[in-house]
Structures are given as structure tokens and as C-alpha cells.
Structure 1
Amino acid sequence: MELRGVRRQYGRGSGAVHALRGIDLALPRGSFTAVMGPSGSGKSTFLQCAAGLDRPTAGSVRLGGTEITGMNENKLTALRRSRLGFVFQAFNLLPSLTVEHNVLLPMRLAGRRPDREAAARVLAQVGLEAHARRRPGQLSGGQQQRVAIARALVTQPDVVFADEPTGALDTGTAAEVLTLLRQAVNDLSATVVMVTHDPTAASYADRVLFLADGAITDRLVRPTADQVAARMTALTARTRPAAPHPMAGAAA
């Protein structure tokens, strides 16, 4: 996936909000990239534009050599269903469907014949092959997120987008989920892009990109959690509005 000069502006004139200010980025196949930044830095907009869920105001997004920026909505929807995978903080599983049918859902939505062998294979990869007939409500939060990862991988997508995938999980369960994403990169050559606020989660990635005010301002390669936390602390300090001088009101 490549982003070239990607900008996203909401509104016009003096009230315009520049959510992205010219993102240039190449995401190689078989890589794990974490995206971090203070609140309002543009993380969510970045993910939405990269995944074709939102249209950039300017610039281009290419997926495996395919320009997706100018695609109509029907073609974009078909592309997302066949070539992209998504993992969300809230799992987004359908409670009325079994685990197996939840995993097979992307195939059904893409108009493909459900491949039960593929579902069994990815469920085995996430350690849930014995739970195929259960429903999400019968599983723990960590198990539900594993199902979501299996669902994201079943179509062998070009890119898996993970939006705060460990935000609703305890520390131990989060580590299991992150290890699965790491294994998807190492063993399946998946490309994972993860938005997170957690330095420990980011340390599972090959590199961490730091966003501030809609631009990539820093990056780390093969970071430790402590290195990520230190960069985030420094970045937040730089982007926080300065406090008014205590005598400013008296002077006025």
C-alpha cells in the first residue's frame, strides 16, 4: 500500500480542519506498522483514508498497484471485502452467527462460495478450532477478538487494518492477540497497520509512525515499549497548548 501526498480537509475557509497534511508512505508486504499520536493527531483519518473508508481531499492511495482514490463506492466496497481485513476494538461479531459463520462472513459478502476448510485453517491458527460451533456470547473477550482476527485473515487480504484491537482487553489477553497479529505477519506475510495508544502494543510492530497535527513527525524501527512511551511523552508535550502565564489576567 502506498499513500502519496494524502490530505484530508473538513470544512472550508477559516473554519477548515486539516486532519491530514500530506502523508507520503509506503507499506511493504509482510510488514507490521503501528500508528500513534496524541488525540486529534489524525490517526483515525489516516486509517480511514488508507482503507478506502474516507476519500482524501488530495493525493492518492494505491493498493498493490491499484489506484483506489478515484474508485466509485461499489468498486471500493468490493475491494474492501476481497482485499482488506479489519479488526476493531469492539470485535464487531454478529451474535446470532456461530464462530465459523462469523469467520466466513467476508466471503459471503464478497459473493464468494464460503470455504469451510479456510475457516477451519484460520481458526486453528488462532487456537479456536474447537469453538467453531459456538456463538460469540459464549466466548471471552480475548476469544472474540481472536475470531475477529481469523475473520480478517480468511480472505488472505493484502492489508489488515487494526483499530485499537487491544483497547477492550486485559494485559495478558492483549499480549495473546498482539502475538497473533505478529505471527500473521511472520508466517503468512500479512501486512498489518494498527492504530493504537498503547506503547506495549506498538512494540510488537516493525516500525511505529508518530502523527501530530495531521503529519508524520517521527518514526521508530523495531522499538521497545519504553522507547515508544518516551517518544509519545515528548510528542504530547510539544503539541500541548501552552498554559497561560499566571499573571496574564492581572496584567490585562
Structure 2
Amino acid sequence: MGLGLRRTGRHGAQGGPAVELSGVRRVYGRGAATVHALRGIDLTLPRGSFTAVMGPSGSGKSTFLQCAAGLDVPTEGSVRLGGTEITTMDENELTELRRSRLGFVFQAFNLLPSLTVEQNVLLPLSLGGGRQDRDRAAELLARVGLDGKGRRRPAELSGGQQQRVAIARALVTRPDVVFADEPTGALDTTTAAEVLGLLRDAVDSLGATVVMVTHDPAAAAHADQVLFLADGLIADRLPRTPAPTIAARMTALAGRPAPSYTAA
């Protein structure tokens, strides 16, 4: 099903990149406990693209997502979202950025059980003090296959339906970027494919930009490109590729020896 929603340009020049990382490093701890989670990421993602990020455990993919989304601050380097430099923002500015210009879809859905489905979709607008655009909420819910379910509570929905609500919520502000962290991790194979189809349609029909961390080659196969992280670096990338090819590349990366580094 196509989302069929028109992208309206609210933020930045529409021709510019959606995501830009330059020399991004993230170091945790000190001395013998130092962890180099990201060792220097340079990356530009165009608007209207779907990027999957994969890597072995400890490769830095979660840290990558957190730094790119303004949930964590790089130790070094620059992050720009929709043309806006975010690494110099204070916490209040970052909160406003995440609320108004970014969308998030998590494995655990993160819906508020006391709110209706419609209220959950409109939550980013409510928190920002914006107009409660119930027509847009209804349109998004219809496009994700939940027409007429706006008055229900999350507990009345299946897991797949709750993730559909989360996708509608992520799109309600017409964000510069939607960040998805293992969005199908709690879903069965059939439901996962339906949810991934909705994210794919958000890119193709709405012009959304999606950056998704996943461990699942079948999920990554929906993306325009797959980035492979290893040891805090981008080790490889593939254009839109069938799942078996992605799985083979992951297997090869997981078996490679870690590089040696000397302390600076």
C-alpha cells in the first residue's frame, strides 16, 4: 500500500543532504577502560533515501544511530541533519530538534498506554505546542492500515499494529529523517515484512529519509543501500541487494580479525 502523502518542505534546502557526518568519533571511558565506539565516520545520505546499517555485535551501529540522531554527542566531528549543525546544540535545542524535525521507530514501539492511538500519533505535535492536526493523524493511520482505530488504546492492538502506530507518529511532523532502531525485532516474519513495506513506501511516496539499524538481512534488503560497520568504521557498503548477499557479507565481516590500535 502506498502512503500517498505529499512532502512539504519545511526545513532547509530540499536539494541538500538529509544526513552528514564528518570525522565522527565517539570514545567512552578512560585509560585501560577506553572504548573507541566510532573511529572516524564520514557519510552523506541524500534526502528521500532508505539506508540500512548493519554490523557485528560491538561494531558501533547503535552508537552511530545515537550520534546521528542527536541522542549522544560525538567526542570529535560534525553531524548535520537537514543542513543544520547539531553537534554544537545545547540539550534544549536538541530536544526541540528531535521533537520537530526527527522521527523515531523503536523495537519496543514506545507507545504511551494511557493515550489513544490518535493521541500517540499526535504526541510530537502536543509536546511541541503545535496545532493538533487530527486530519493528518487520521490520514496517516489510514495509510498504515489502521483506519478507524484512532480511539483504541495500544493494548487493544497487535504488535504489528502498534509498530504501524509508531511509524505514523514518526511521520506526523514531516521530519527531515526517520531513525529506526531494530523496528522489526519484536515482530514475526510476515508482520515484519509489512512494516518494512510501510517504511519503504514512506521513502518512495512521501519522500521521507529513513536510517535503520538492523541485524536482519531480510530487513536490510528493503533499503536503497546497506552500510556495514566493523570496529567503529564503515567497512563496506552495498546498493539495494538481496538478503542472501547481505547475509554473506555480514558473515565475512563477523569473521574478520579486529585491527590493532595504539593509544594516542
TM score, norm. by length of structure 2: 0.90
Given the alignment of the two structures, is residue 58 of structure 1 paired with residue 58 of structure 2, yes or no?
no
Distance in 2 of aligned mates of 1:27 and 1:83? 16
Write out per-residue CA displacement over residues 48-99 of structure 1, whole angstroms, 9 at most, x where no aligned residue: 0000000000000001211100100000100110000000000000111110
Q: Is contact 1:212-1:239 (8 Å) kept?
A: no
1:234 counterpart residue number: 252
Compare the two structures and name the one with the higher helix fraction: 1
1:4 counterpart residue number: 22
Write out per-residue CA displacement over residues 157-214 of structure 1, whole angstroms, 9 at most, x where no aligned residue: 0000000000000000000000000000000000000000000000000000000010
Instruction: Compute the displacement of 1:15 (Å).
Output: 2.4
**RMSD over aligned Cα, in angstroms?**
1.0
Aligned-partner residue type, residue 186 of structure 1: D
Q: Is contact 2:231-2:258 (8 Å) kept?
A: no
1:186 counterpart residue number: 204
Given the alignment of the two structures, is residue 129 of structure 1 paired with residue 158 of structure 2, yes or no?
no
Distance in 2 of aligned mates of 1:229 and 1:219? 13
1:90 counterpart residue number: 108
2:175 counterpart residue number: 157
2:230 counterpart residue number: 212
Match of 2:229, SS? Answer: strand
Percent identity of paired positions between Structure 1 and Structure 2: 78
Structure 2: segments with no counterpart, 5+ residues: 1-18, 260-264
Distance in 1 of aligned mates of 2:144 and 2:80? 30
Is the radius of gyration larger for structure 1 or structure 2? 1
What are the equivalent positions in structure 2 for 1:35-114 lying under 5 Å apart? Answer: 35-114=53-132
Name the CA shift for 1:60/1:126 in 2 (closer, same or farther; >3 Å): same
Write out per-residue CA displacement over residues 135-175 of structure 1, whole angstroms, 9 at most, x where no aligned residue: 00000000000000000001100000000000000000000
Structure 1: segments with no counterpart, 5+ residues: 242-252
Q: How many residues align?
A: 241
Distance in 2 of aligned mates of 1:214 and 1:128? 39
1:13 counterpart residue number: 31
Distance in 2 of aligned mates of 1:143 and 1:215? 35
Aligned-partner residue type, residue 15 of structure 1: A
Match of 2:131, SS? Answer: coil
2:136 counterpart residue number: 118
Q: Is contact 1:19-1:214 (8 Å) kept?
A: yes
Name the CA shift for 1:7/1:97 in 2 (closer, same or farther; >3 Å): same
1:244 counterpart residue number: none
Aligned-partner residue type, residue 34 of structure 2: A
2:184 counterpart residue number: 166
Q: Is contact 1:103-1:151 (8 Å) kept?
A: yes
Write out per-residue CA displacement over residues 1-37 of structure 1, whole angstroms, 9 at most, x where no aligned residue: 1000000000123321000000000111000000000
| Runs of 4+ more than 6 Å apart | none
Distance in 1 of aligned mates of 2:169 and 2:90? 25
Aligned-partner residue type, residue 177 of structure 1: V
1:33 counterpart residue number: 51
